[in-house]
Amino acid sequence: MGKLSNPKFAKEIMNEAGFRTQKKYGQNFLMDEGVLIDIVEAADITEDDFVIEIGPGIGTLSEVILERAYKALLIEIDDKLIPILNKTLGGFDNVKIVNTDIMKIDLDKLIEEESEGRKVKIVANLPYYITTPILMKILRGHVSYESITVMVQKEVAERMEAKPGSKDYGALSLAVQFYTEPEIIEKVPAGKFFPPPKVDSAVITLRKKETELPDSVSEELLFSIIRSSFEQRRKALYNGLVNHKELGLNKEKAKKAITELGWPETIRGEKLTLKDFIKLSEQIAITK
């Protein structure tokens, strides 16, 4: 086990390099050996795997990944961390560090160039200011990964795993559950990070799955309907559908699409399962 999970040692490394964590990049470094091991075990990293780590920081999680993976590619936005990573991970010959913004990189191209056709596992202690955009880039972009194991804000993990009818259920739950099977692995208190964030966190694994759509329904249509259904959570579903101009539905058409499916016209989006949203999208595609 490497030494970077030892807070005293990690702080010495940062002080030596004159490095100060930056809030704008969501730099809260994980300082708990047990949780680091839980993350790589949940990700089920083997010596055959190609791992992409988003935001390696000073290399705390990277070190544990590199001990198990065939190869890992680390994508870090902060150029001040690159010399530190070169030093802390200097003993590994299976690492490649890329200094860029994850939102600006073509992940599929990178995988094609670097993975040698191996299974791709994405692992990260994500910067919380940009969690959802990063996950949507990977999920909606159909990146060729097998699983994603990430630390996120606890409430976000709960939303990803939420089922219909619960208060946490919404557009994020449906997007995540369309592309993957989510499983919360553990909750992690703020005190396990340096500096501690204001919120507690959770580790969640998303295992890729395929969800079939009927020919008449595109992912764009489905997600546009899902988004519009949750924009006004407390109102009946048809209101959101009418307000979403792109769908081109007036009140009558929106209500008709709902009642044709045998649902009460006042039904709310939070009651509908993913399958229901697919049925509704099919109905709307006919009604339009």
- Residues of this chain that interact with ligand SAM (CB under 6 A) are 25-30, 54-57, 60-61, 75-78, 81, 101-103, 125, 127, 130
The strand pairing partners of 97, in sequence order, are 74
Radius of gyration for the alpha carbons in the chain, expressed in angstroms and rounded? 21
Indicate the residue among 153 and 224 with the shorter CB distance to ligand SAM: 153
Instruction: Select 65 or 284, whichever has its Cβ closest to ligand SAM.
Output: 65
Q: Give the CB-nearest residue to ligand SAM.
A: 55
Distance of closest approach, residue 264 Cβ to ligand SAM, in angstroms: 44
Cα torsion 196, 198, 204, 208: sign: negative
The CB-of-114 to ligand SAM minimum distance in angstroms stands at 16
CA torsion sign, 35 to 145 to 102 to 93?
positive
Provide the minimum distance between the beta carbon of 201 and ligand SAM in the complex, in angstroms, as a whole number: 9
- Of 45 and 162, CB closest to ligand SAM: 45
Q: What's the closest the beta carbon of residue 246 comes to ligand SAM, in angstroms?
A: 29
Residue 186, strand partner residues:
203
In the chain, where do the E strands start and end? 29-30, 50-54, 71-76, 95-99, 120-125, 147-153, 180-188, 193-194, 201-208
Q: How far apart are CA 240 and CA 225, in angstroms?
A: 8
Show Cβ contacts of residue 111 under 8 Å, excluding neighbours closer than 6 positions.
50, 52, 120, 143, 144, 145
Q: Toward ligand SAM, which CB reaches closer, 73 or 249?
A: 73
Task: Decide whether 61 or 254 has the Cβ nearer to ligand SAM.
Answer: 61
**C-beta of 28: minimal distance to ligand SAM in Å?**
5
